[in-house]
Structure 1
Amino acid sequence: MTSRTLYLFGSAAPPVFDIATVIGDAQSRGWDVRLGLTPTAARWLDAQKTELERLTGGPVRSEYKSPGELDVWPKADVILMASATFNTINEWALGLTSKFVVGVCAEGIGEGIPLVTMPCVNAAYAQHRRLDRSVAELREMGVTVLYGEGGFVPNQPGEKKPYPWAAALAAVEGR
Protein backbone atom coordinates (compact mmCIF):
# COMPACT_ATOMS: atom_id res chain seq x y z
CA MET A 1 0.00 0.00 0.00
CA THR A 2 1.30 3.45 -0.90
CA SER A 3 1.60 5.78 2.06
CA ARG A 4 -0.04 9.19 1.81
CA THR A 5 1.51 11.97 3.86
CA LEU A 6 -0.60 14.69 5.45
CA TYR A 7 1.02 17.74 6.97
CA LEU A 8 -1.37 18.81 9.73
CA PHE A 9 -0.62 22.38 10.77
CA GLY A 10 -2.28 24.20 13.65
CA SER A 11 -2.44 27.71 15.04
CA ALA A 12 -3.07 28.89 18.58
CA ALA A 13 -6.84 28.57 18.72
CA PRO A 14 -8.81 26.30 21.08
CA PRO A 15 -9.36 23.48 18.51
CA VAL A 16 -5.61 22.81 18.55
CA PHE A 17 -6.17 21.05 21.89
CA ASP A 18 -8.03 18.32 19.94
CA ILE A 19 -5.06 17.66 17.66
CA ALA A 20 -4.20 14.19 19.05
CA THR A 21 -7.72 12.99 18.22
CA VAL A 22 -7.48 14.53 14.75
CA ILE A 23 -4.16 12.77 14.16
CA GLY A 24 -5.81 9.46 15.07
CA ASP A 25 -8.78 10.16 12.78
CA ALA A 26 -6.47 11.00 9.87
CA GLN A 27 -4.38 7.90 10.49
CA SER A 28 -7.52 5.75 10.50
CA ARG A 29 -8.17 7.14 6.99
CA GLY A 30 -4.74 5.93 5.88
CA TRP A 31 -2.67 9.09 6.29
CA ASP A 32 0.88 9.27 7.58
CA VAL A 33 0.59 12.48 9.61
CA ARG A 34 3.29 15.05 10.35
CA LEU A 35 2.44 17.81 12.82
CA GLY A 36 3.52 21.43 12.55
CA LEU A 37 2.44 24.23 14.87
CA THR A 38 2.79 27.97 15.16
CA PRO A 39 5.17 28.92 18.00
CA THR A 40 2.30 29.82 20.34
CA ALA A 41 0.39 26.61 19.58
CA ALA A 42 3.61 24.66 20.21
CA ARG A 43 3.94 26.34 23.59
CA TRP A 44 0.31 25.50 24.40
CA LEU A 45 0.92 21.83 23.56
CA ASP A 46 4.42 21.55 25.02
CA ALA A 47 3.29 19.11 27.74
CA GLN A 48 1.86 16.82 25.01
CA LYS A 49 4.83 17.03 22.64
CA THR A 50 6.30 13.61 23.48
CA GLU A 51 2.94 11.91 23.00
CA LEU A 52 2.27 13.81 19.75
CA GLU A 53 5.67 12.73 18.42
CA ARG A 54 4.90 9.14 19.39
CA LEU A 55 1.55 9.33 17.58
CA THR A 56 3.03 10.79 14.38
CA GLY A 57 6.33 8.92 14.43
CA GLY A 58 8.27 12.12 13.80
CA PRO A 59 9.19 15.45 15.32
CA VAL A 60 6.58 18.11 15.98
CA ARG A 61 7.92 21.19 14.20
CA SER A 62 7.32 24.86 14.88
CA GLU A 63 10.53 26.33 13.50
CA TYR A 64 12.41 26.24 10.23
CA LYS A 65 15.28 23.78 10.03
CA SER A 66 18.81 25.17 9.69
CA PRO A 67 20.32 25.53 6.21
CA GLY A 68 21.92 22.26 5.16
CA GLU A 69 20.03 20.27 7.78
CA LEU A 70 18.27 17.20 6.37
CA ASP A 71 14.49 17.25 6.36
CA VAL A 72 13.27 14.25 8.31
CA TRP A 73 9.68 14.58 7.10
CA PRO A 74 8.52 12.85 3.92
CA LYS A 75 7.12 15.09 1.18
CA ALA A 76 3.49 16.12 1.73
CA ASP A 77 0.71 14.81 -0.47
CA VAL A 78 -1.73 17.27 1.14
CA ILE A 79 -1.41 20.06 3.71
CA LEU A 80 -4.21 20.89 6.16
CA MET A 81 -3.87 24.17 8.05
CA ALA A 82 -6.48 23.94 10.77
CA SER A 83 -7.29 25.51 12.99
CA ALA A 84 -6.07 28.67 11.29
CA THR A 85 -6.31 31.90 13.25
CA PHE A 86 -7.07 35.36 11.88
CA ASN A 87 -3.36 36.11 12.02
CA THR A 88 -2.30 32.90 10.26
CA ILE A 89 -4.81 33.31 7.42
CA ASN A 90 -3.72 36.90 6.84
CA GLU A 91 0.01 36.12 7.02
CA TRP A 92 -0.39 33.29 4.53
CA ALA A 93 -2.44 35.34 2.05
CA LEU A 94 0.06 38.20 2.28
CA GLY A 95 3.09 35.91 1.94
CA LEU A 96 4.51 36.79 5.36
CA THR A 97 6.47 33.65 6.14
CA SER A 98 8.27 34.23 9.42
CA LYS A 99 6.41 31.23 10.89
CA PHE A 100 7.41 27.74 9.72
CA VAL A 101 3.88 26.48 9.05
CA VAL A 102 2.92 29.60 7.10
CA GLY A 103 6.10 29.39 5.05
CA VAL A 104 5.51 25.76 4.15
CA CYS A 105 1.94 26.55 3.11
CA ALA A 106 3.01 29.56 1.03
CA GLU A 107 5.67 27.47 -0.68
CA GLY A 108 3.18 24.63 -1.12
CA ILE A 109 1.09 26.82 -3.42
CA GLY A 110 4.05 27.18 -5.78
CA GLU A 111 4.90 23.49 -5.51
CA GLY A 112 1.37 22.46 -6.45
CA ILE A 113 0.71 20.63 -3.17
CA PRO A 114 -3.03 20.43 -2.50
CA LEU A 115 -3.87 22.73 0.40
CA VAL A 116 -6.90 22.87 2.67
CA THR A 117 -7.47 25.37 5.45
CA MET A 118 -10.24 26.03 7.91
CA PRO A 119 -10.18 29.26 9.89
CA CYS A 120 -11.09 29.56 13.52
CA VAL A 121 -12.08 33.17 14.11
CA ASN A 122 -14.76 34.77 16.18
CA ALA A 123 -17.47 37.05 14.76
CA ALA A 124 -15.58 40.17 15.87
CA TYR A 125 -12.51 39.21 13.79
CA ALA A 126 -14.81 38.22 10.93
CA GLN A 127 -15.94 41.85 10.68
CA HIS A 128 -12.43 42.95 9.74
CA ARG A 129 -12.32 43.31 5.96
CA ARG A 130 -8.81 41.83 5.74
CA LEU A 131 -10.19 38.38 6.59
CA ASP A 132 -12.54 38.24 3.59
CA ARG A 133 -9.78 39.58 1.35
CA SER A 134 -7.32 36.96 2.62
CA VAL A 135 -9.84 34.14 2.20
CA ALA A 136 -10.51 35.30 -1.38
CA GLU A 137 -6.76 35.54 -2.11
CA LEU A 138 -6.11 32.02 -0.84
CA ARG A 139 -9.03 30.64 -2.86
CA GLU A 140 -7.73 32.40 -5.98
CA MET A 141 -4.38 30.66 -5.42
CA GLY A 142 -6.11 27.27 -5.38
CA VAL A 143 -6.39 26.71 -1.62
CA THR A 144 -9.57 25.01 -0.43
CA VAL A 145 -10.82 27.35 2.30
CA LEU A 146 -13.56 25.90 4.49
CA TYR A 147 -15.10 29.13 5.70
CA GLY A 148 -18.81 29.76 5.83
CA GLU A 149 -21.56 27.22 5.21
CA GLY A 150 -20.10 23.69 5.08
CA GLY A 151 -16.97 24.76 6.95
CA PHE A 152 -16.25 27.03 9.88
CA VAL A 153 -18.88 29.62 10.73
CA PRO A 154 -17.63 32.34 13.11
CA ASN A 155 -18.97 32.29 16.64
CA GLN A 156 -19.44 35.16 19.04
CA PRO A 157 -16.38 36.02 21.18
CA GLY A 158 -16.27 33.55 24.07
CA GLU A 159 -18.92 31.27 22.53
CA LYS A 160 -17.86 27.64 22.33
CA LYS A 161 -19.06 25.51 19.42
CA PRO A 162 -17.59 22.24 18.17
CA TYR A 163 -14.94 22.79 15.52
CA PRO A 164 -15.87 20.92 12.31
CA TRP A 165 -12.81 18.69 12.11
CA ALA A 166 -14.75 16.07 10.13
CA ALA A 167 -15.34 18.61 7.34
CA ALA A 168 -11.62 19.40 7.25
CA LEU A 169 -10.61 15.75 6.97
CA ALA A 170 -13.28 15.13 4.33
CA ALA A 171 -11.87 18.03 2.29
CA VAL A 172 -8.39 16.54 2.60
CA GLU A 173 -9.73 13.27 1.20
CA GLY A 174 -11.25 15.22 -1.69
CA ARG A 175 -7.92 16.80 -2.63
Structure 2
Amino acid sequence: MATMYLFGSAAPPVFQVDEVIQDVQSRGWDVCLGLTPTAADWLRDDLDVLEELTGRPVRSQYKRPGESDAWPKADVILFAPLTANSLNAWALCLTSSFVVGVVAEGIGKGIPTVAMPCVNSAYAAHPQVDRSVATLRDAGVTMLYGPGGFEPNPSGQAKPYPWAAAVEAAVRVAADS
Protein backbone atom coordinates (compact mmCIF):
# COMPACT_ATOMS: atom_id res chain seq x y z
CA MET A 1 0.00 0.00 0.00
CA ALA A 2 1.32 3.43 -0.92
CA THR A 3 1.74 6.03 1.81
CA MET A 4 0.76 9.70 1.64
CA TYR A 5 1.96 12.18 4.20
CA LEU A 6 -0.83 14.73 4.58
CA PHE A 7 0.47 17.90 6.21
CA GLY A 8 -1.54 20.90 7.25
CA SER A 9 -1.00 24.38 8.65
CA ALA A 10 -3.35 26.54 10.69
CA ALA A 11 -5.81 27.77 8.07
CA PRO A 12 -9.56 27.11 8.15
CA PRO A 13 -9.50 24.21 5.61
CA VAL A 14 -7.52 22.14 8.14
CA PHE A 15 -10.85 21.53 9.90
CA GLN A 16 -11.83 19.35 6.89
CA VAL A 17 -8.79 17.10 7.16
CA ASP A 18 -10.84 14.11 8.36
CA GLU A 19 -12.84 14.15 5.12
CA VAL A 20 -9.64 14.40 3.10
CA ILE A 21 -8.11 11.45 4.96
CA GLN A 22 -11.20 9.35 4.21
CA ASP A 23 -11.07 10.35 0.53
CA VAL A 24 -7.40 9.40 0.25
CA GLN A 25 -7.96 6.13 2.10
CA SER A 26 -10.88 5.26 -0.19
CA ARG A 27 -8.34 5.41 -3.05
CA GLY A 28 -6.25 2.71 -1.35
CA TRP A 29 -3.67 4.91 0.35
CA ASP A 30 -2.23 4.74 3.84
CA VAL A 31 -2.30 8.27 5.34
CA CYS A 32 0.03 9.78 7.95
CA LEU A 33 -1.13 13.15 9.29
CA GLY A 34 1.32 15.88 10.27
CA LEU A 35 0.35 19.32 11.51
CA THR A 36 2.07 22.55 12.41
CA PRO A 37 1.94 23.16 16.17
CA THR A 38 -0.83 25.74 15.78
CA ALA A 39 -2.89 23.46 13.53
CA ALA A 40 -2.46 20.66 16.09
CA ASP A 41 -3.72 23.03 18.77
CA TRP A 42 -6.72 23.96 16.64
CA LEU A 43 -7.55 20.25 16.22
CA ARG A 44 -6.60 19.19 19.77
CA ASP A 45 -10.12 17.92 20.54
CA ASP A 46 -10.05 15.72 17.41
CA LEU A 47 -6.50 14.32 17.54
CA ASP A 48 -7.57 10.99 19.06
CA VAL A 49 -10.23 10.54 16.36
CA LEU A 50 -7.71 11.44 13.65
CA GLU A 51 -5.19 8.95 15.05
CA GLU A 52 -7.87 6.27 15.08
CA LEU A 53 -8.83 7.17 11.51
CA THR A 54 -5.25 6.92 10.22
CA GLY A 55 -4.08 4.17 12.56
CA ARG A 56 -0.95 6.22 13.21
CA PRO A 57 0.08 8.99 15.59
CA VAL A 58 -0.64 12.53 14.44
CA ARG A 59 2.69 14.31 14.50
CA SER A 60 3.41 17.97 15.12
CA GLN A 61 6.79 17.67 16.81
CA TYR A 62 10.12 16.15 15.83
CA LYS A 63 10.89 12.78 17.36
CA ARG A 64 13.81 12.57 19.76
CA PRO A 65 17.16 11.36 18.43
CA GLY A 66 17.31 7.59 18.54
CA GLU A 67 13.53 7.10 18.61
CA SER A 68 12.19 4.84 15.90
CA ASP A 69 9.84 6.38 13.38
CA ALA A 70 6.17 5.46 13.82
CA TRP A 71 5.46 6.17 10.15
CA PRO A 72 6.46 4.29 7.00
CA LYS A 73 8.35 6.14 4.27
CA ALA A 74 6.28 8.51 2.16
CA ASP A 75 5.50 7.81 -1.47
CA VAL A 76 4.12 11.34 -1.79
CA ILE A 77 3.60 14.37 0.44
CA LEU A 78 0.59 16.68 0.20
CA PHE A 79 0.97 19.92 2.18
CA ALA A 80 -2.41 21.60 2.31
CA PRO A 81 -3.53 23.98 3.59
CA LEU A 82 -0.18 25.75 3.45
CA THR A 83 -0.13 29.13 5.20
CA ALA A 84 2.12 32.04 4.24
CA ASN A 85 4.18 31.36 7.36
CA SER A 86 4.83 27.70 6.52
CA LEU A 87 5.28 28.49 2.81
CA ASN A 88 7.97 31.07 3.49
CA ALA A 89 9.69 28.98 6.17
CA TRP A 90 9.85 26.04 3.75
CA ALA A 91 11.21 28.10 0.86
CA LEU A 92 13.87 29.57 3.16
CA CYS A 93 14.62 26.15 4.78
CA LEU A 94 13.68 27.41 8.26
CA THR A 95 12.84 24.06 9.78
CA SER A 96 11.74 24.75 13.35
CA SER A 97 8.38 23.07 12.55
CA PHE A 98 8.30 19.28 12.07
CA VAL A 99 6.20 19.38 8.88
CA VAL A 100 8.35 22.13 7.34
CA GLY A 101 11.47 20.14 8.19
CA VAL A 102 10.11 17.01 6.51
CA VAL A 103 9.14 18.80 3.28
CA ALA A 104 12.42 20.75 3.19
CA GLU A 105 14.36 17.51 3.52
CA GLY A 106 11.95 15.82 1.10
CA ILE A 107 13.24 18.03 -1.70
CA GLY A 108 16.72 16.59 -1.25
CA LYS A 109 15.37 13.05 -0.88
CA GLY A 110 13.35 13.37 -4.09
CA ILE A 111 9.98 12.66 -2.44
CA PRO A 112 7.22 13.79 -4.82
CA THR A 113 5.51 16.73 -3.13
CA VAL A 114 2.39 18.73 -3.85
CA ALA A 115 1.47 21.89 -1.96
CA MET A 116 -1.54 24.13 -2.07
CA PRO A 117 -1.30 27.47 -0.28
CA CYS A 118 -4.19 29.03 1.58
CA VAL A 119 -3.49 32.74 1.84
CA ASN A 120 -5.77 35.72 1.61
CA SER A 121 -5.15 38.51 -0.91
CA ALA A 122 -3.45 40.69 1.71
CA TYR A 123 -0.79 38.02 2.33
CA ALA A 124 -0.60 37.25 -1.39
CA ALA A 125 0.30 40.89 -2.05
CA HIS A 126 3.49 40.49 -0.03
CA PRO A 127 6.37 39.93 -2.48
CA GLN A 128 7.83 37.04 -0.46
CA VAL A 129 4.81 34.83 -1.18
CA ASP A 130 5.43 34.80 -4.94
CA ARG A 131 9.18 34.38 -4.38
CA SER A 132 8.57 31.40 -2.11
CA VAL A 133 6.15 29.78 -4.56
CA ALA A 134 8.72 30.24 -7.35
CA THR A 135 11.56 28.86 -5.21
CA LEU A 136 9.61 25.72 -4.39
CA ARG A 137 8.44 25.24 -7.97
CA ASP A 138 12.07 25.54 -9.09
CA ALA A 139 12.95 22.85 -6.54
CA GLY A 140 10.44 20.46 -8.14
CA VAL A 141 7.47 20.93 -5.82
CA THR A 142 4.08 20.91 -7.55
CA MET A 143 2.55 24.17 -6.31
CA LEU A 144 -1.20 24.48 -6.80
CA TYR A 145 -1.36 28.25 -6.61
CA GLY A 146 -3.21 30.34 -9.14
CA PRO A 147 -5.59 29.08 -11.85
CA GLY A 148 -6.39 25.40 -11.34
CA GLY A 149 -5.32 25.53 -7.71
CA PHE A 150 -5.87 27.93 -4.85
CA GLU A 151 -6.57 31.54 -5.76
CA PRO A 152 -6.38 34.04 -2.89
CA ASN A 153 -9.63 35.44 -1.59
CA PRO A 154 -10.13 38.92 -0.14
CA SER A 155 -9.11 39.21 3.49
CA GLY A 156 -12.01 38.19 5.73
CA GLN A 157 -13.88 36.35 2.97
CA ALA A 158 -13.79 32.60 2.68
CA LYS A 159 -14.44 30.49 -0.38
CA PRO A 160 -14.35 26.71 -0.81
CA TYR A 161 -10.86 25.24 -0.64
CA PRO A 162 -10.16 23.04 -3.70
CA TRP A 163 -9.27 19.88 -1.77
CA ALA A 164 -10.19 17.61 -4.69
CA ALA A 165 -7.60 19.30 -6.93
CA ALA A 166 -4.94 18.84 -4.25
CA VAL A 167 -5.67 15.14 -3.72
CA GLU A 168 -5.86 14.46 -7.48
CA ALA A 169 -2.52 16.20 -8.03
CA ALA A 170 -0.83 14.22 -5.24
CA VAL A 171 -2.11 10.92 -6.61
CA ARG A 172 -1.01 11.90 -10.14
CA VAL A 173 2.45 13.07 -9.04
CA ALA A 174 2.98 9.82 -7.12
CA ALA A 175 1.97 7.75 -10.15
CA ASP A 176 4.33 9.72 -12.38
CA SER A 177 7.37 9.23 -10.15
Give the deviation of 1:112 after TM superposition: 0.5
Structure 2 match to 1:20: 18
Deviation by residue 1:24-48 (Cα, 9 ceiling, x = unmatched): 0000111100000000000000000
Report 1:12-161 matches (<5 A): 12-161=10-159
Give the deviation of 1:18 after TM superposition: 0.2
Deviation by residue 1:145-165 (Cα, 9 ceiling, x = unmatched): 000000000000111100000
| AA in 1 matched with 2:160 | P
Q: Normalising to structure 1: TM-score of the pair?
A: 0.98
| AA in 1 matched with 2:122 | A
Q: Identity, % of aligned pairs?
A: 67
| AA in 1 matched with 2:146 | G
Alpha-carbon distance between aligned partners in 1 of 2:47 and 2:81, rounded to the nearest angstrom: 18
Structure 2 match to 1:172: 170
Alpha-carbon distance between aligned partners in 2 of 1:24 and 1:33, rounded to the nearest angstrom: 9
RMSD of the TM alignment (CA)? 0.4
SS class of match (1:113): coil
Alpha-carbon distance between aligned partners in 1 of 2:28 and 2:170, rounded to the nearest angstrom: 12
1:6 correspondence with 2:4: yes
Alpha-carbon distance between aligned partners in 2 of 1:118 and 1:29, rounded to the nearest angstrom: 20
Alpha-carbon distance between aligned partners in 2 of 1:36 and 1:83, rounded to the nearest angstrom: 12
Deviation by residue 1:75-130 (Cα, 9 ceiling, x = unmatched): 00000000000000000000000000000000000000000000000000000000
Structure 1 runs of 4+ aligned residues shifted over 2 Å read none
Alpha-carbon distance between aligned partners in 2 of 1:137 and 1:75, rounded to the nearest angstrom: 25
| AA in 2 matched with 1:61 | R
Q: Normalising to structure 2: TM-score of the pair?
A: 0.97
Alignment size in residue pairs: 173
Alpha-carbon distance between aligned partners in 2 of 1:26 and 1:156, rounded to the nearest angstrom: 30
* Structure 1 spans left out of the alignment, 5+ residues: none
| AA in 2 matched with 1:65 | K
| AA in 1 matched with 2:38 | T
Give the deviation of 1:174 after TM superposition: 1.0
